[in-house]
Homo-oligomer: A and B are copies of this chain.
Amino acid sequence: MSALPTLDEDMEQGLSEAASDGLAGPAVRRARAWLSRAAEPGSVAFWRFVDDVGPVEAVRRLRSGRAPDVVRALVGARAGQDASLADLLRAERCDARLVVPEDDEWPAHLLHCLTLATGEEPDDPRHQSSRATAPVPPLALWVRGPARLDELADRSVAIVGARASTAYGEHVAGELGHQLGERGWTVVSGGAFGIDAAAHRGALAADVPTVAVLACGVDRAYPAAHGALFHRITESGLLVSEWPPGAAPLKHRFLVRNRLIAALTQGTVVVEAAARSGAQATARRAQKLGRQVMVVPGPVTSAMSVGCHELLRDPELGAVLVADAAHVVETVGRLGEDLAAPPERATGPRDGLSDLAVRVLDACPVRNGVSPERLARVAGCDVLDVLRVLPVLELADLVEATDAGWRLARGARAGEGRGVTAGEQTA
C-alpha cells in the first residue's frame, strides 16, 4: 500500500489537472471535500472566494494564510486540519460520494438560481444576508444512493410541512408523494418527522426514487427513528447533504439546508404548516428563487393548516392552491410542456418555446450581456419568470451567461435563419 498523498501535495498537482469523462479531477474533488468541512455552508463571502480563485487555489491560500481576512475568519483553526481523504473514504464505505460543480452530475441549471441570487448580495460582508437566509450555492454535495442527482432533480417537486402533522396532512402528503411518483416526478423533502416522512413514504410506496436533503452527514440517521426509512431511500433514491460524513444535525443547519430543497426542485408544495412556521419560511425562500409555491389547504379549524392559509392569503407570494397531484403537475409541468416540443417535430431551436421564453430570448442582446432584471423589463415580465426561463434557454444553447450578464448564444444567432424558415412554413 503506497503512502497517501498529503492535501498540500494534491493541491500542487491539482493546479494543472483536467476533468475527464464528465468527472472532476481528484484534486478538485479533494479540495471541495476539504472546503465542505472547513467552513459552514451558506456564507456569501466564502462562496465568492472559492468561485473567484477556484477550489484548489482556495485551499492553497487558506492553508498558507493568504486568503482575505473575512474568509480566514470563517475557517479559523480548521485551516490547519485535514480530514478530506478520511471523509471521502468514509463516504465510500457507505456507498456515498462527493458531487462537485465540476461533475456532469452537478444539477447546474437548477442551482443557477442561487448563483444569480448571490450575485445580488452586497460586496460588504457586513451587509450580506446571514447564513440562515443567504441564497448561496453549495460548494459540493455529499450524495448517498444509486441514482444520479441531476437526473432526479431535473423533474422534481419539494413536499414540505409540519413535523407535528395531523393524520389529514400525512394522508395528503403520502397521496401526493405516491401520485407524483407515478407521474414520473421525484419527491424531494427533508427526511423529518411528519409531512416529510409521509411524502417520502408515499413515493417509496409507488416504487420510485425519492430524495432526502439532510442537515447532517449522509451516514447519520436523524431523526434516529428514520434509520429504516433512510435505508429504503438509498435503495433507489438519494440522501443529499452539504455537510461531510459524521456532521451533526445542528439546529441552524436546517435553515441553511432549506434553500437547497427549494433550489433543487421545480416547485415547493406546503402540506401542513402552523402559523409563522418553518415551512412558511421555506415557501417564501422558494418564491424568492423563482420557484412556484404550491399550498394544500385544510380545515380552517386545524392549527396545522393556519400557516397554509396564511400563505394562500398573501397576494405577493402568488402561491397556488393545490388539492391533488394533477394540480401540482399542472403548475410545475407547464414550463416543461410549453418548452419541450417533441424532438422529431422540431425544425429550429426556437420552435416549441413558450411565449414567455420567446420574449425573454428576444430580449437578450447579441453582444454585451445584461442582468435578468434588465431582461425582465425588456421582455415585459417578472424577473422571477426570467430566472425560471433562462436555465432552460441556456440548456437549449440559445443564451449564454457572461461576466456582464446574459446574451444570445452563438447558436441562437446563427439559428435565426432557421427561424425564418420555420416562419415561412406557417405563412
Interface of A toward B, CB cutoff 8 Å: 168, 171-172, 296-301, 305-306, 309, 312-313, 320-321, 323-324, 327
* Given A297-B300, A300-B324, A301-B168, A312 and B313 contact (CB-CB distance below 8 Å): no
Cβ of A168: which chain B residues have Cβ within 8 Å of it? 299, 301
Q: Are A297 and B309 closer than 8 Å at their CB atoms?
A: yes
CB contacts (< 8 Å) of A297 on chain B: these are 297-298, 300, 305, 309, 312, 321
Name the one of B298, B313, B320 contacting A327, with C-beta atoms under 8 angstroms.
B313
The residue of chain B having its C-beta at the shortest distance from the C-beta of A310 within the complex is B323
Copies in the complex: 2
For A171, A300, A301, A313, the residue with the greatest tally of chain B CB atoms inside 10 Å of its CB is A300
**Residue in chain B with minimal CB distance to A320:** B313
- Please name all residues of chain B whose beta carbon is closer than 8 Å to the beta carbon of A300 when the two chains form the complex: 172, 296-298, 323-324
Chain B residues with CB under 8 Å of A299's CB are: 168, 298-299
Q: A362 to chain B: closest CB distance in Å?
A: 25
Cα of A302 to Cα of B203 in the assembled complex, Å? 23
Closest chain B CB from A372 CB (angstroms): 24
Do B312 and A171 touch across chains, with their CB atoms under 8 A apart? Answer: no
User: How far does the alpha carbon of A306 sit from the alpha carbon of B297 in the complex, in Å?
Assistant: 11
CA distance A305 to B297 in the complex (A): 10
CB nearest neighbor in B for A171: B301
**Do the beta carbons of A323 and B306 come within 8 Å of each other?**
yes
Nearest 4 Cβ contacts at the A-B interface: A297-B297, A300-B323, A312-B321, A309-B323
- In the complex, what residue of chain B is closest to A297 when comparing beta carbons? B297
Partner of A321, one of B309, B324, B327: B309
Q: With the chains together, A391 CA to B327 CA distance in Å? A: 39
Closest to A296 in B: B300
* Most central of A172, A298, A299, A301 by chain B CB within 10 Å: A299
7 A-B Cβ contacts within 8 A? A168-B299, A172-B301, A296-B300, A297-B305, A309-B321, A309-B323, A321-B321
| Bound Cα distance from A401 to B172, whole angstroms | 53
**A168's closest neighbor in chain B, by CB?**
B299
How far, in Å, is A46 (CB) from chain B's closest CB? Answer: 41
A309 partner residues in chain B, CB cutoff 8 A: 297, 321, 323
Which residues of B sit under 8 angstroms from A320, Cβ to Cβ? 313
Query: Which of A296, A297, A312 has the most chain B CB atoms inside 10 A of its CB?
Result: A297
A171 contacts across to B, CB distance below 8 A: 301
Residues of B within 8 A of A312 (CB): 297, 312, 321
Query: What's the nearest-Cβ distance from chain B to residue A326, in Å?
Result: 11
A252 to chain B, nearest CB (A): 32
Task: Report the Cα distance A320→B323, complex, angstroms.
Answer: 17
Instruction: Flag if A313 contacts B321 (CB, 8 Å).
Output: yes
- A323→B309 CA distance, assembly (Å): 7
Known A-B contacts: A297-B298, A298-B299. Give 13 more (CB < 8 A): A171-B301, A172-B300, A172-B301, A296-B300, A297-B297, A297-B300, A297-B305, A306-B323, A312-B312, A312-B321, A313-B323, A313-B327, A321-B321
